[in-house]
Amino acid sequence: MDRNEALSLVEPHLKKPRFEHTKRVADTAINLARLFGEDIKDTDLAAIFHDYAKYRDKEELKRWILTESLPKDLLSYHHELWHGPVGAILVKRELGVENEQVLSAIHWHTTGKAGMSKLDKIIFLADYIEPGRQFPGVDEVREQADKNLNVACWMASRNTIEFLMKKNQPIYPDTFHAYNDLLHQRNQN
């Protein structure tokens, strides 16, 4: 599937600002893929489809979590986390994407996890730093993204955890696992 076909498949599922975000994530991810030696086509597909399920009804997302082999504890956390794991299932079933690396990157783009692949990290980071994002700390992560993928992802996970803690929000366990794993990788550099 080429870029134009992928964009035409995702566009009807997104609001206009989210579609523009998706295109910026894809461009950012491709730049990171070139910088860090990842497959461009896989990166582009994962980025384009990362928010495929973003605007699905919460009850539909919940049904997918309950009927598929997804962790049921997702339901105890904010529904914003649900669209990644469910999106990976829907992209496979509805669009026929079979590439497990692409599906993994879609699945983990919101929470991260320990042992992320390079593609997982690129989509996680591109979603965080795309040029339309403006919030405290993002510029520092953007600067690091040009130098070290692991450190930039660690910074993004750290910032996310700090943000959620300040708001007294629960933090999904895989986000902590991502942070710890990325910290270990950062310290090995």
- What pTM was estimated for this model as a whole? 0.97
Domain that holds residue 84: 3-134
Tens digit of each residue's pLDDT (9 = 90 or more) over 87-134: 999 999 999 999 999 999 999 999 999 999 999 999 999 999 999 999
CA distance readout (Å), 186 to 8, 141, 177, 189: 38, 14, 14, 5
As a whole number of angstroms, the distance between CA 162 and CA 22 comes to 25
Q: Is 179 part of any domain?
A: no
Count of domains in the chain? 1
Structure tokens belonging to residue 52? 């495929």
| Residue 174 lies inside a defined structural domain of this protein | no
Specify the CATH number for the domain of residue 29. 1.10.3210.10
Amino acid at 66: L
Distance CA 152, CA 141 (A): 5
Residue 16 in domain? yes
Q: Is the residue at 177 inside a domain?
A: no
| Residue at 40 is within a domain | yes
In whole angstroms, what is the distance from residue 79 CA to residue 102 CA? 22
Six-digit token string for 31: 């730049």
**pLDDT tens-digit readout, 39-84:** 999 999 999 999 999 999 999 999 999 999 999 999 999 999 999 9
Q: Where are the beta strands (DSSP E) in the chain?
A: none
